[in-house]
Structure 1
Amino acid sequence: MTQSVAALIFFLATTCSASAAESAWDVLKRFGLTGVWADDCRQPASVDHFRTIYSEDADGLARRELDFGMRSIYATFVDGAEMTSPSMLKITIRNADPKFEKFNQKTFWIVLLKEDDPQTKGGFRMRYFNSVTTEGKVGVRNGLRLGKPSPWLYNCRSSMS
């Protein structure tokens, strides 16, 4: 069995599920993953410095939008969320925007890691710790992407929800 298939089986077996009493949005709020996140909040949104926006829609669903600048925002949904520890969050993301073209309706299982931000008082930063697609393609494993640590992301603005 390849490592990608093993990773997919692991994520499927431990797929994110919020309890019936707690929605995915509730879990994101409890973890602190709301608002706008980027690797550098001083840079304008672009393909190289895109922003990730976590918010609650009118139906109470957790949305994740990717802002690539120049009015290019792609919509995704957080279909499930589970805090596995105070510093780790597993989320199931589903692309839900025709602009994704062949990647529309694809699902990703992601584990986020947060830690206190040494540059701010009381704030934290987060990064991707693991990421795998429905096809078993691993994007991040143990905090490494293409052999390098995944970038830290910072909260640029709180959610309006």
Structure 2
Amino acid sequence: MDGDACPVRDEVFRVAGRLSLPVTVVSNGSRGVRLPEGVRRVIVEEGADAADDWIVEAIGPNDICVTADIPLASRCLAKGALAVAPAGRVWDSENIGSAMAGREISRHLRETGMETRHAGFTNRNRSLFLEALERTVQQARRPASAQPRPLPDFFSD
């Protein structure tokens, strides 16, 4: 879990505890957050992408990354992992490209002086996250032979 400012820590801990799943919380500092017994804490050096880099280095196929950071989600997907945003969006190869493009457009707008705002985090987001996390855990637990195969790309050379 990308632990810096994650609004769904308790939900992750609850689901992981119920299903006996390991959890690692990675952050740039301890931030005074108490973790349940058995949850691994990794504190990385200060730096813009230090936590992200650690997560990408450690994550493997069918591991689940909980993050609102779109570039981190993209990097995890590239390693065969799964990614879920705290607002309940499951990142995948179908939607990560448009999310990255939208992020760049927002960055450009901010650079030109325009304000961009994110909607606040709601109880509905929390509920959507729990549903998405449950589905993603079930997907990760399926044997590789039961995983859906990608459709052929009829438009490639």
- The TM-score with structure 1 as length reference comes to 0.27
From the two aligned structures, give the one with the greater strand fraction. Answer: 1
Q: Which has the higher contact order (CA 8 A, sep 6+)?
A: 1
